[in-house]
Amino acid sequence: MSLETDFIVIGSGVAGLRASIALAGSGACVTVLTKDKASESNTEYAQGGVAVVLSDDDNAELHEEDTLTAGAGLCDPEAVEALVTEGTKYIKELIDWGTEFDRDGGRLVFTREAAHSRRRILHAHGDSTGKEIVRALIVRAGREKSINLMPFANTESLLVSDGRCVGVRFLDPILRAPRNIFAKAVILCTGGAGQLFLHTTNPPVATGDGMAMAYFAGAEMADMEFIQFHPTALNVEKAPRFLLSEAMRGEGGILRNKYGERFMARYDERSELAPRDIVSRSIVAEMRSTGTRTVFLDMTAMDEVFLKERFPKIYETCKFYGLDIAKHLLPVSPASHYFMGGVRTDLHGRSSVQGLYAAGEVTCTGVHGANRLASNSLLEGLVFGARAGEAAVSDSSEFRVRSSELESAELETRNLELGTGLATAVKKRVKRSMWERVGILRDKDSLRRALREFQQIAKSNLSISSNNFVTLALLVAEAAFWREESRGAHFRTDFPDKHENWQVHSVQKTGHEIYGSKTINFGVKEL
């Protein structure tokens, strides 16, 4: 038996929750499907904070300029303007809803991170900013009786009828069987796909299913070659790659090699405060030159009490693995962290498929360009989550959900008879190949080998989840192979320079060859 609702939101991170609140504000019935518990998302793991123009010495123009500079020529100026100007409103709204950002004597505390020209980063509980924002949004969403949170409901595919997304097929956690749910519109807020790589700061749920589902539903994907690698993930044997926040270097942390030498100044005049892509590549170069698999983050010059208060979660996690951040050098190395590419949308979350919207890391809005500015992701989720929710309501005012008709209609979906689990063998093979051949440093031969391997795996009798995983790997490798230059987070050792004629966005769609587009946003329709 199928279900019916007004709107479906897939994902319960900052983008999904903010979109749900916007939808519920219209009086609509909103069903939120999540793969895990409601609080399990990339948002919850965001330590670095949220960038926003609120301090006296800052303004939107400076924040916009920093974002455009980090994006290496591929940001969409309109999207960036929307982010930095509307962001202030949405952060104030979060504060009104009870979000407890760090304060000193009642005044908000602003910190600085790499590539920011001002101290504009807000934190909550030191290094638990994302977790605190999710907490406040879940409480706020709980006041809306029309929002129905459905945890442990793994979405299998999007349902399309006559070119319009009309719902999703998901695994009912109670019935433990596939079930259809129909709606006026679907908003994808499924986050990124850091789990594609052997080493990642992302939680286990970040496998990119939302991107793959959108691709199979006919949506255009953009800039899939641009993946940001965080330079400082804890590198301890048998421990997860726990992220050691950008803010640690912002507060004065120093990177040292195995000889105890500070090395970043040899690679960039900004040293530890250079953009993430430069720091990551510098660390890789230093590890290769010294024949090691790690470098070290040195925080020992700082006061122990300050470090405990400023980085409580990091302090406790490192302590669990026998490291005192105030006394020991912390072993670190890069790990995959954030997708700049994703579902191509306009400025209001509309994808190229009618009825399908997206917000947050699953999208490519043009905000981040070729390299995300630190701490812009939470702000993007808030701003574009709200925008997507408002657009979905406005666009679908005349559309009526008729599940009885849709059940008997010819629905475009994928074969769901093959099971749903992500096969361990497939996962391991893809993750290793992505890390070794489609990672921080890329070249033609390695990318070609990766493509051949993924194409071979794709011919196997795969489950839906495994097919999603391999397809996403193929999209990333194909886009990386196509872009014969180095720009932002995409670095080709065989094409190490940036070229003006490559100042275009890669666009991929089922049944079509990859191509370059000068613009990222399409068919912009103002509300």
- Residues β-bridged to residue 182: 4, 167
Amino acid at 298: D
Among candidates 483, 12, 45, which has minimal Cα distance to 227? 483
CA–CA separation, 509 and 496 (whole Å): 27
At 313, is the secondary structure helix, strand, or coil? helix
- The H or E element containing residue 339 is strand 330-339
Cα 225 to chain centroid, rounded: 14
- The H or E element containing residue 10 is strand 7-10
Q: Is residue 275 within 8 Å of residue 223, measured between CB atoms? A: no
Q: What is the chain's length? A: 527
Here the tokens at position 21 are 């609140």
Active site residue 107: no
Catalytic-role residue among 120, 169, 276, 344: 276
Amino acid at 450: A
For residue 245, how many other CB atoms are within 10 A of its CB?
27
CA–CA separation, 51 and 91 (whole Å): 10
Buried b (16+ CB within 10 A) or exposed e, 202-224: bbebbbbbbbbbbbbbbbbbbbb
Please list the active-site residues: 276
